[in-house]
Amino acid sequence: MNPAGNAHRRQNVIGFDIVSSNGLMKHLKAILVLGVVSLLAGVSFRFAAAQGPGPGQSETVAKPKKKDVPAEATDEPKVPSKFSKKDKDVPEGLPTFSSDVNTVQLEVAVLDNHGKFIPNIPRGNFRVLEDNVPQQISGFSTNADAPMTIAMVIEFNALFQQYWSQGWYQTLVASYGFVETLKPDDYVAIVAYDLRPEILTDFTTDRGKIQEAMQRLRIPGFSESNMYDALVDTAQRMTNIEGRKAILLIATGRDTFSKLTFDKARKAIQEAGVPIYAISLLQAFRIVADAYMSDSQRMDFLQADNQLNTFTRETGGQAFFPRFYGEFPGIFHDIGAALRNQYSLAYSPSNQVKDGKYRKIKVELVNPENGEQLRITDQKNKPIKYSIIAKQGYTAPRAVE
């Protein structure tokens, strides 16, 4: 062996790496551009994939499948469905709903500028305004141990969640990660949507059934993303659920083919009154692809973010736009804290007219002695900036209802 010759060869190899690095970078950049262009082409030209879940394969939120075998004939007890409004017999321990059209229920979270819940605020510091008219608070509670009822509505289509794609992986990280943060007594339902919403599992506390439902998030069907229809169907079917309830939307925020328009969906979600929390997908990828987008494509994604912000803000929830996977644990914690650490307020509206009109709600923290905004301080007596999260209104019932 010739050490000198080996050294010479090593220098040649190193020299080749230095000389060809520019070419390699150009090659990688070309691959990246090709991938981005392919994705954006899919965004611009929406299509329905030939393969997908056929009709009748599984029940959907919009059209439940008819049962051939009665529930009584099976060995397994029927899963308590909170999407059904016809069930009269409710299992013991399940949250129930008692309807009183003259009472408005509010779930309120008070967060500091770091997104942390501020506890121990007395009832007398809360003021509720309906159409700028102060209301008399008749109910107040802060039970953080009560179980939650969560419907996870997950976008899963062939455009952004192709098998082993970045969108597919991020969707599973967000979905599985949030399920792991729930308590044993929390009820969870999984709804996936593309061309139509589909119930993967009804509300249950059985983590085995939940994991089985999550296993179905493998091969997407259609390329459409009908977010409006999925959100409205789920929110309306959760209207008659009492207690801490919410929808967790995991999606890009885009809608391609819904029967409902944005305005109609927005109104229906406001009327349902179910808080919506949203986790946006593919934020980092969109930053990388921004240089290759057209103006219309940028507007498409900006509109998607705006829709998530609108739906969550108006229902008393929050929207999150993570760019890194390391942000997910903090997001899961913030959503759980916001749902568990809430002040439950109830009041009978001073306006008892059943006109079916939308009424705006505003929740404030005030000093009862002078009516001025409440000043909250930390342990060092420094003022804390805070925000109040609550739904912004409701639709009054009509006389015929």
DSSP assignment string, 231-292:
HHHHHHHTTT--SEEEEEEEE----SS-SS-HHHHHHHHHHHT--EEEEE--HHHHHHHGGG
What pLDDT does residue 304 have? 94
| Whether pLDDT at 136 is above 90 | yes
Task: Out of 231-235, 248-252, 267-271, pick the least confident.
Answer: 267-271
| Whether pLDDT at 23 is above 70 | no
What pLDDT does residue 400 have? 64
Q: How confident is residue 285, by pLDDT bands cut at 50, 70 and 90?
A: confident
pTM equals 0.66
* Lookup: tokens for 14: 């190193």
Task: Out of 23-32, 248-257, 277-286, 355-364, pick the least confident.
Answer: 23-32
> Could you state, in order of their start, the residue ranges of all structural domains in the chain?
46-401
Question: CB-based burial of residue 231 (10 Å sphere; 0-12 exposed, 13-18 middle, 19+ buried)?
Answer: buried
CA distance 93 to 319: 31
Closest CA to 268 of 300, 225, 242, 239: 239
What pLDDT does residue 47 have? 32
What pLDDT does residue 11 have? 37
The stretches of 45-139 forming alpha helices (DSSP H) are none
98-111: pLDDT as tens digits:
344 478 888 888 88
What average pLDDT does the chain have? 77
What pLDDT does residue 87 have? 44
Residue 58: other Cβ atoms inside 10 A: 13
% of the chain residues with pLDDT over 70: 74
Average pLDDT over residues 237-263: 91
Which CATH superfamily includes the segment(s) 46-401? von Willebrand factor, type A domain (3.40.50.410)
Task: Out of 68-82, 90-104, 172-186, 208-222, pick the least confident.
Answer: 68-82
Question: CB-based burial of residue 227 (10 Å sphere; 0-12 exposed, 13-18 middle, 19+ buried)?
Answer: buried
